Amino acid sequence: MGNVNVISGVHDPSGARARAWAVLAGFWEEAGVELPPAPAAPRVARDGARPNAVSNVPQAAMRRDAGPAGQVTETASPASVDEALARVLGTSTPPRAPPARTLPAAEGAVTDAALEARSAAGRAQSIEALAQEIAAFDGCPLKAQARRTVVYDGIAGAPVLVIGEAPGAEEDRVGKPFVGPSGQLLDRMLGAIGLSRTTNVLITNTIYWRPPGNRKPLEPEVAVCRPFLARFIELAAPRAILLVGGTAAETVLRRVAPISRLRGQDLAITAREDTPPIPGRATFHPSYLLRRPQDKRLAWQDLLQFEALLHSLGIETAGRP
């Protein structure tokens, strides 16, 4: 009958699925997740009689294969393997713990709009000129639904650059980043370590137009705006960068990882591959902290670490209130 994975009850001639499952099960056991006993291997029927279904695998996902001497075995389709593993653990989807991965520069198709954005960004020789190029750019579909183009606020040439996600409703109305409730919290967070958009901070976003319903920006939208952000960092020439929220961190670092994994790390941020790295840190987005105030203590730790970074670079702050 060939090899059968006794964990998922799946016909497994090469044993590859069994080995893959062993690695996956080991991970969850190390994490303290107690796995239920493995289901029994599938039964074999003779003369075409219908055997009992493999435990945890839906009948609709089964297929019948003729074996030696007229035996008929039931195996599972590839899609049903994942379902079987999920049901073994009592979850709706198979558990996965993907590592952080790097986003290659060419991920996603390089569209005409992205090329146009790259050309427009290259023409700008100042922050103000770049803001004008972005306002005149029509290659991002979000612009058609937005009221205003929101590029930056704060002091051009400031030593600290804060990068967020995208405008919200209030930002779309006013035309400046971080002016709604989350912006008010951000101002208090920065003020706690002697920073202010009126003296020593420049603020921008990865996206310059409000996504409908304040949803997370889509990758094609981020890709179109990425040349503008890279040029913004280059022209701003900050000495330190604070990435606020997962979208900003993923976009700037080109790494897919939760913000909880990226915070607390010393980051090296580059506008382009041929430019020197800029030291930085990442923390939670203020809108997240408004929804989960219990994590403000973690954000405070991030701010203290960022303050220490600024002092190590010789960047003066106003001091704590």
| Residues making up the chain, counted from first to last | 321
The DSSP 8-state label assigned to residue 204 in this structure reads E
- For the segment 48-75, the average pLDDT, to the nearest whole number, is 42
pLDDT at 227: 96
CA distance between the termini of the chain? 75
**pTM exceeding the 0.85 threshold for the entire prediction:** no
The beta strand positions in the chain, using DSSP E, are 4-5, 10-11, 62-66, 72-76, 101-102, 152-154, 160-164, 201-205, 240-244, 255-256, 267-269, 278-283
Q: What are the φ and ψ backbone dihedral angles of 279, each rounded to 5 degrees? A: -70, 145
Closest CA to 279 of 235, 233, 319, 320: 233
pLDDT tens per residue across span 251-283: 999 888 899 999 999 999 998 888 899 999 999
172-210 tens-digit pLDDT: 999 999 999 999 999 999 999 999 999 999 999 999 999
What value does the mean pLDDT of the chain take?
77
* Domains in the chain: ranges and CATH: 4-97 (no CATH), 102-312 (3.40.470.10)
The helix (run of H) or strand (run of E) holding residue 290 is: helix 286-291
Higher-confidence residue of 39 and 308: namely 308
Greater model confidence, 158 or 15? 158
Give the C-alpha separation, 63 to 60, whole Å: 8
Distances (CA, A) of 295 to 75, 132, 258, 290: 47, 37, 15, 9
The predicted-structure confidence for 70-90, as pLDDT tens digits, reads as follows: 444 444 444 444 454 444 444
